[in-house]
Structure 1
Amino acid sequence: MHRFLLTPRWWGINVFVALGVPFCLFMGTWQLGRFEDRVDSHREATAERPADRAAAPLASLLPVDKKTSGQPAAVSGEYAEQLLVPERTLDGKPGFYVLTLLRTDSGKAVPVVRGWLPGNADPAAAPAAPAGRVDVTGALQPPENSRTKGVHSEGGLPAGQLGVIGAASLVNIVPYDLYDAWLTVRTPADGMLPVPPQAPNDTGLDLKAFQNLGYTGEWFVFAAFVLFMWFRLYRREIETLRDAEAGLLPAEETPTAASAATAEAAPRRA
């Protein structure tokens, strides 16, 4: 009855199942691991950092990664150009960032978000940066991505405004080299509110994270579907052979079923 499993057709089916099911399970497990990694990264990124943690020199924390993002960094220099970053919310209220470029002793500049103000971006409302040499301590942040931030391009903004904070968006605005990072000060002055550190890129429970979880379910469903189809083909083959033995098949019966039925009946006739 089960000799049909040794036919070339069923050899191909069995090999496909033997390879397909482990592959689907492996891919599902891998996607689940990706989701768990994002959950762990999100938990670490949102964990409160000690407020009294000593600040490290800015250069020692670069390039920004998941470990150094949000770390307190210290840098000295002189403030230069000031820009406004519109459409930034804080505690659910619309407002804008006051960003000033700090030219450091190395000759490079680092964007410093000195604080947040409510309302529309208005240069008259933004307090001027301190003159002379200053020591700045702030939370280190990675450069923003226009796609993930969902903001419009720089070309659609008025002069003196910036849509995305990063060296890529500033390179055509300022005439000197830039660090590919930015700082947000802990204690703003002049009535501005502090901007909390943002979670590093690819660490939040965003759409990508839940896509990984969805792919996990899809791969496990694929594995179950392969097994279901194998079992269905197997049951159909068994039923076909039984009908062939009972003489219930029409004359145009399938060659596979007929040959399998003949092979089954030959030993009994012998």
Structure 2
Amino acid sequence: MYRFLLSPRWIGLAIFVVVMFVTCFRLGQWQYDRYHERQDANEVTRGNYTAQPIPVEDALADGWSSDLAWRTVTATGTFDPQHEVTVRFAHRDSRTGVEVVTPLRLDTGETVLVQRGWSKADNSGGASEEIIPPPAGQVTVSGWLQPDSTADGDATTPRDGEVRAIDSESWDDLLGAEPMPGFIAMTAPEQDGLEMAKKPDLSSGPSFFYSIQWYFFAGLALFGYFWFARTEVRERRQAAAVTTA
């Protein structure tokens, strides 16, 4: 009764089902692994941004590492408004605007980039004329360390006071020296006309639900094969019963 499963048509269907099952199952595993990676990253982020602030010089003493993202730091120095740059097309909550990045010359002689905040601007990507200048004189700011962008040089090299993304390594020519890696998303002190950095997104993301979907498709492929096979057997039995009758 089941010899039909050895026919070319059913062998082809079986191969197709196996390929579908393996593909969907592996995609489900990949999404599940991404879910766990997101959970682990969230734990690091949660610990960093709620930790007691430390001087940025201490945090970056050994250079940048991925576990420094969202580390709470402080920096004391003098803002350099002559080299202030805006990040174009920085949308926030569906609003168009720019992010304001100002170098901070530290007392140690080093320079760190500080994203002072976000300002509403038109959709042309140009900077708003209403952006207030940074505080004059020595200041102490606090905020969260952020990694450099991985965008290409065209997007991260300051030109005419604008960039599309922040990469400290692309600021050498503008500043005349290499700044510290990454940048500080400033949270204090508050400044009129600028919205401070937003807290990190610690949601689990969609990967867990995507993994369930792929596992479901894998199971559906197997279920479909056996359902069609059972239907074929039932039809053959009915045909045989009619013939013998």
- TM-score (structure 2 length as normaliser): 0.63
Any idea what the Cα deviations from partners look like across 1:153-210, whole Å, max 9, x if unmatched?
A: 469x97112321222553564432233311133323663545224537xx666xxx43
The 5 A counterparts of 1:149-188 are: 153=155, 159-167=160-168, 169-170=170-171, 173-188=174-189
| Cα distance in 1 between the residues matched to 2:20 and 2:131 | 63
The 5 A counterparts of 1:101-116 are: 101-104=103-106, 109-116=111-118
Q: 2:145 corresponds to which residue?
A: 140
One-letter code aligned to 1:114: R
SS in 1 for 2:84: strand
Q: 1:35 corresponds to which residue?
A: 35
| Cα distance in 1 between the residues matched to 2:53 and 2:69 | 15
| Cα distance in 2 between the residues matched to 1:74 and 1:199 | 18
Whether the 8 Å contact between 1:107 and 1:177 is mirrored in structure 2 is: no
Distance 1:31 1:122, change over 3 A: closer
Return the offset for 1:111.
0.9
Q: 2:53 corresponds to which residue?
A: 54
Whether the 8 Å contact between 1:187 and 1:194 is mirrored in structure 2 is: no
Matched, 1:225 2:225: no
Distance 1:92 1:188, change over 3 A: farther
- TM-score (structure 1 length as normaliser): 0.59
Whether the 8 Å contact between 1:141 and 1:197 is mirrored in structure 2 is: no
Unaligned runs of 5+ in 2: none
| Cα distance in 1 between the residues matched to 2:186 and 2:218 | 50
| Cα distance in 1 between the residues matched to 2:101 and 2:35 | 35
Q: 1:97 corresponds to which residue?
A: 99
Q: Which moved more, 1:41-50 or 1:25-34?
A: 41-50
Whether the 8 Å contact between 1:154 and 1:169 is mirrored in structure 2 is: yes
One-letter code aligned to 2:171: L
SS in 2 for 1:186: strand
| Cα distance in 1 between the residues matched to 2:63 and 2:199 | 17
Distance 1:226 1:34, change over 3 A: same
Q: Give the fraction of aligned pairs with identical amino acids, expressed as a percent.
A: 19
Whether the 8 Å contact between 1:85 and 1:98 is mirrored in structure 2 is: yes
SS in 1 for 2:73: strand
Unaligned runs of 5+ in 1: 249-270
Distance 1:98 1:29, change over 3 A: closer
| Cα distance in 2 between the residues matched to 1:116 and 1:24 | 42
